[in-house]
């Protein structure tokens, strides 16, 4: 029976995945479970209602959100019809449960490690106490079969995510990541509020299983996938009605892929970044998200009954112009569909979008206090990545004073982009190569450092603690592009 099921499933894949893999080299790749075919021939999923289902709150009290969170092996299906035998997940769901809270709530997450290796949970972007942050220097890893209660307050409305901070390159790729959504007090719900994890997966073309990291180059450049996933599947379709106000809350849990996304025929407005709602929303043709980054975009759905409009990903060039790594991406130079919106009958007068109010961003440029000037380097020949000439754990610790407006410069001397993530505090980008950024800014915890560029950021260092910082290309973090900052 099992074999027969597999055989049938495999037939579906032969029809839909193989064109993907074969066409990938030409830049005209289509995804498994193609969005372009009709329902009968594509085998695509039925359109889902737009929205999300939060994790059940086990505590009825106001102001406390209590959840169970178990990491275990879980053979999930990325949309190929073939479950990943090495798949892992939180609560047998990819992405893991969406934890929903209001600003100021206390989160209680009863974590259980049912995997065979030690784990921590890092709450990416949350300004919490550093002994709850899941960084490796501040807590003992949770051993297989053991439990730990993460308890922390969420001080900022925004869209966050969580993931392991040990063996992240392997485990996040295989499905171990989830979202944490913190609402502002004055948020007016959109008609369609859709959190989307934009992930990629590198599958072996023959087995459709997670491909091993079998080359030094893949380790050095970061692992780019050949299948694009929206919320863990390559074939999602979401129902829309013309006129609806749509909010897409985007997070990038990919190991190394920078996404550059837009929705066909829709006018996007960026309304939030990593640390929540921004003071000045702005129109954008597409939105770039490096690994670890989030952005929320809003649009009023425009389309006719039966029409499909797709969330598309454009190729982002990870290396500087003229670099010889252009062909490294298995998806090539083309644009690829990620998810399809399917318009139903009729239209509605949508709920008008109201931007939640937030204070203006405080900084107009660098402050007097320079906390540190970091230098990121990558030695292609030697196969190493470093910060300030060293690899974790030998990168010198940065010591800065809490509560002081402090400027940091990150200089990237390498030929490729690096997404720089600092735990525990929020930052405002004030300059890129000495020039003010081109778009209005919001709070960030992860941001791009372009090749041969210097990015200047400022933080009030509101949150004292012992914090990790690192490149969020997970292979780079594990190869040592990571350090520690003491804020005291």
* Binding region for Cu ion (CB under 5 A): 418, 471, 473, 476
Task: Identify each DSSP E strand in 252-350 by its residue range.
Answer: 259-263, 268-273, 276-284, 287-289, 294-300, 308-313, 336-347
Burial 55-79 (b: 16+ CB within 10 A, else e): bebeeeeeeebbbbbbbbebebbbb
Q: Are strands 64-73 and 106-113 parallel, antiparallel or unpaired?
A: parallel
**What is the closest distance, in whole angstroms, from the C-beta atom of residue 471 to Cu ion in the complex?**
3
35 or 418: CB nearest Cu ion: 418
**What is the closest distance, in whole angstroms, from the C-beta atom of residue 385 to Cu ion in the complex?**
6
List the beta bridge partners of residue 261.
287, 313
**What is the closest distance, in whole angstroms, from the C-beta atom of residue 389 to Cu ion in the complex?**
15
Q: Cα-Cα-Cα-Cα dihedral of 158, 477, 409, 197, to 10°?
A: -30
**What is the closest distance, in whole angstroms, from the C-beta atom of residue 418 to Cu ion in the complex?**
3
310 or 476: CB nearest Cu ion: 476
308 or 378: CB nearest Cu ion: 378
**What is the closest distance, in whole angstroms, from the C-beta atom of residue 111 to Cu ion in the complex?**
28
Q: Per the structure block, which two tokens stand in for 25?
A: 């080299």
122 or 417: CB nearest Cu ion: 417
Question: Around Cβ 188, how many Cβ atoms within 10 Å?
Answer: 12
Whose structure tokens read 């992240």? 168
**What is the closest distance, in whole angstroms, from the C-beta atom of residue 291 to Cu ion in the complex?**
9
Distances (CA, A) of 133 to 319, 393, 403: 31, 18, 19
Distance (Å, whole) CA 473 – CA 465: 24
44 or 473: CB nearest Cu ion: 473
Question: Which residue's Cβ has the minimum distance to Cu ion?
Answer: 471
110 or 319: CB nearest Cu ion: 319
**What is the closest distance, in whole angstroms, from the C-beta atom of residue 434 to Cu ion in the complex?**
22
* CA triple 409-410-411, angle to 5 deg: 115
Distances (CA, A) of 111 to 63, 98, 167: 20, 14, 17
308 or 445: CB nearest Cu ion: 445
**What is the closest distance, in whole angstroms, from the C-beta atom of residue 230 to Cu ion in the complex?**
24
List the beta bridge partners of residue 470.
421, 482
**What is the closest distance, in whole angstroms, from the C-beta atom of residue 57 to Cu ion in the complex?**
37
Q: Are strands 398-400 and 245-251 parallel, antiparallel or unpaired?
A: unpaired
Contacts of 2 (CB under 8 A, 6+ apart): none
**What is the closest distance, in whole angstroms, from the C-beta atom of residue 167 to Cu ion in the complex?**
17
233 or 418: CB nearest Cu ion: 418
Q: Are strands 428-432 and 418-422 parallel, antiparallel or unpaired?
A: unpaired
236 or 417: CB nearest Cu ion: 417
74 or 258: CB nearest Cu ion: 258
**What is the closest distance, in whole angstroms, from the C-beta atom of residue 475 to Cu ion in the complex?**
8
Residue 487 burial (C-beta neighbours within 10 Å; 0-12, 13-18, 19+): buried
237 or 417: CB nearest Cu ion: 417
Distances (CA, A) of 97 to 68, 110, 180, 300, 398: 9, 13, 8, 27, 35
Contact (Cβ atoms closer than 8 angstroms) between residue 431 and residue 370:
no
Contact (Cβ atoms closer than 8 angstroms) between residue 425 and residue 487:
yes
């Amino acid at each position: 029976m099992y074999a027969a099921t597999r055989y049938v499933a495999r037939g579906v894949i032969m029809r839909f995945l193989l064109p993907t893999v074969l066409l990938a080299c030409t830049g005209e790749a289509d995804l498994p479970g193609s969005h372009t075919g009709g329902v009968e021939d594509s085998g695509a999923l039925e359109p889902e209602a737009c929205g999300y289902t939060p994790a059940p709150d086990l505590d009825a009290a106001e102001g406390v959100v209590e959840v169970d969170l178990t990491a275990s092996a879980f053979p999930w299906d990325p949309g190929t019809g073939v479950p990943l035998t090495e798949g892992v997940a939180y609560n047998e769901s990819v992405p893991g449960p969406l934890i929903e809270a209001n600003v100021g709530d206390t989160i209680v997450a009863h974590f259980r490690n049912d995997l065979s290796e030690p784990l921590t949970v890092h709450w990416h972007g949350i300004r919490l106490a550093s002994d709850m942050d899941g960084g490796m220097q501040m807590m003992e890893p949770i051993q297989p079969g053991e439990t730990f209660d993460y308890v922390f307050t969420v001080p900022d409305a925004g869209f966050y995510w969580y993931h392991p901070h040990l063996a992240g390159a392997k485990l996040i790729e295989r499905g171990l990541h989830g979202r944490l959504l913190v609402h502002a007090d004055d948020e007016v719900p959109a008609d369609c509020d859709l959190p989307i994890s934009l992930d990629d997966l590198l599958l072996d073309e023959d087995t459709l299983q997670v491909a091993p990291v079998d080359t030094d180059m893949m380790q050095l450049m970061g692992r780019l996938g050949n299948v694009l996933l929206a919320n863990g599947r390559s074939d999602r379709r979401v129902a829309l009605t013309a006129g609806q106000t749509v909010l897409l809350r985007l997070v990038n849990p990919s190991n190394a892929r920078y996404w550059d996304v837009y929705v066909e025929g829709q006018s996007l407005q960026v309304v939030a970044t990593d640390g929540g709602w921004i003071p000045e929303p702005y129109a954008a043709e597409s939105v770039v998200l490096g690994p670890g980054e989030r952005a929320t975009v809003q649009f009023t759905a425009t389309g006719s009954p039966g029409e499909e409009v797709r969330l598309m990903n454009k190729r982002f060039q990870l290396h500087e112009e003229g670099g010889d790594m252009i062909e490294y991406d298995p998806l090539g130079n083309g644009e690829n569909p990620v998810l399809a919106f399917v318009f139903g009958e009729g239209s509605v007068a949508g709920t008008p979008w109201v931007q939640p109010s937030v204070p203006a961003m405080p900084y107009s440029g660098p402050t007097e206090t320079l906390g540190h000037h970091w230098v990121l380097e990558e030695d292609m020949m030697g196969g190493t990545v470093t910060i300030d000439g060293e690899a974790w754990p030998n990168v010198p610790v940065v010591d800065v004073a809490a509560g002081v407006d402090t400027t940091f410069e990150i200089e990237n001397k390498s030929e490729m982009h690096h997404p720089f993530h600092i735990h525990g505090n929020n930052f405002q980008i004030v300059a890129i190569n000495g020039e003010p950024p081109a778009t209005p800014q919001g709070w960030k915890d992860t941001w791009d450092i372009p090749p041969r560029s210097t990015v200047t950021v400022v933080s009030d260092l509101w949150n004292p603690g012992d914090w990790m910082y690192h490149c969020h290309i997970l292979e780079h973090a594990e190869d040592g592009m990571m350090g520690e900052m003491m804020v005291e």
